[in-house]
Amino acid sequence: MFIRLITGAAITVAFAGPVFAQEGSLLPNVFFDCQGRNCNSQYYRTEIDWVNWVNDQAVSNVHVIMASLTTGAGGREYQLDFIGRGAQEGYLDQMLFQSLPTDTDREELDGLAHTLGLGLARFANEVGYREIVTLQGPDPEASGQSGRRVVSRAEVDDPWNLWVFRLNGSGNLDGEETRKTERLNGSFNASRVSPTWKLNFRGNVNFSRQEFQLSDDRVFRDSRTDWGFNQLVVYAVAEHWSVGVQGQMARMTRFNQNLRVEVTPALEFSVFPYEEATRRSLTMFYKIGPAYRDYIEETVFQETSETRWEQSLELEFSQRQTWGDAGLTISGSHFLHDFARNNLSLRGDIDFRVVRGLSVNVRGDIAWVDDQIYLSAKGTTDEEALLRLRQRGTDFNYGITLGFSIQFGSIFNNVVNNRFRSVGGFGGRGGRRF
């Protein structure tokens, strides 16, 4: 069972009044589990002060997991799962909150805090904490909102027919005595998302100019313009199957391509229903198609332009559970004219809670590369390599990160103190800059 809330009047109409805590009552212990956007636990602790926010999952009565996905309009749909623990094991509840793309951060946080509070109130009422919270409904006459309600998609008159457009632009200039960098960037995006179709068209243009004075008084200068246009059309064939077409037209100077044109049909199978993607996902993605490349400089294979067919297969798994998060992606691709020109990659990550207060995390990736048919026969200068202006030939690349976290001390401290937040410390946003 879940409740779906949409930001704005719908929330206020449903439960407009505040939530009151009764003094002297036993409070439930809440462990809040969130990664990514709007994981502002300090804000939720301030707004919902009638529970114990604990820092250890082992002592919690309810484990709240929050995850989100982007909606077709450019907002986000947040899924909050409430999982009982200890004496409350077996309790399961879910609430969904949808923000609008025009919401400010404060409006989105307020909506999330309201949804989280409602979910915790339902938990408190269900498992026996009945004296700590009261939901006060709206007064339609006092608020002037009589008759307002949540409406269905069929009742909405949308003059844009679900289309969403976005334009972005930026400019940057920075430097010092021996260095100067200029950048201009622009992009646009048009998308339409419905239950059966997903359409996305996006383009971008990037200009950069760099100038560096070297130690031998030589001056290195580089100026380049890259651009690209990408399209994606996806159709939902069945509950677990989707078909689509990806397209690209671009100029990529780093990869020695004056023009790249690609049209690639694709097929995706999801083992789990797509609706469960915020908590678990296992998909297989296959695509095959031709790509035309017009090179800036002749390649190591003595080509100035060519059209090559290629295919790829990707297997991706991710899940978010009470013990932590995990993800694994395996992908492989090759050119049809030469199977030896291939690419195989493996990347994964895991955040695992070992015991109370101790968690470990591992992230890594490795790829075996033998498909760089675009490499320039002239090679790469030292300056281009250091500034990563041109891709160099390689047989493999890799990266790995290991980490751990140990927390001890008070797990029941619900005090929020916002003073000197920029200086650092627990809950701070960073250290002082000098």
Residue with structure tokens 């109370």?
356
Q: For residue 105, what pLDDT is reported?
A: 77
User: Percentage of the chain surpassing pLDDT 70?
Assistant: 80
The pLDDT tens digits for 143-162 are 444 444 444 555 556 788 88
Cite the residue boundaries of each domain of the chain with CATH code 3.40.50: 2-146
Average pLDDT score, the chain: 81
Fold for the domain defined by 162-236: N-terminal domain of TfIIb (2.20.25)
Question: Is the pLDDT confidence value at 188 over 90?
Answer: yes
Q: What value does the mean pLDDT take over residues 206-231?
A: 92
Q: For residue 117, what pLDDT is reported?
A: 87
3-state SS record for 226-263: EEEEEEEEEEECCCCEEEEEEEEEEEEHHHCEEEEEEE
Q: What value does the mean pLDDT take over residues 268-279?
A: 82
Structure tokens at 431: 């250290």
Please enumerate, as own/partner, the contacts of 290-295 that have beta carbons within 8 Å and a separation of 24 or more.
290/262, 290/263, 291/260, 291/261, 291/262, 291/264, 292/259, 292/260, 292/261, 292/262, 293/257, 293/259, 293/260, 293/373, 293/374, 294/257, 294/258, 294/259, 294/260, 295/256, 295/257, 295/258, 295/374, 295/376
Residue with structure tokens 């269905």?
152
Residue with structure tokens 């067919």?
309
Question: Is the pLDDT confidence value at 140 over 70?
Answer: no
CATH 2.40.50 is the classification of domain 2-146 = no
Q: For residue 141, what pLDDT is reported?
A: 52
Cite the residue boundaries of each domain of the chain with CATH code 2.20.25: 162-236
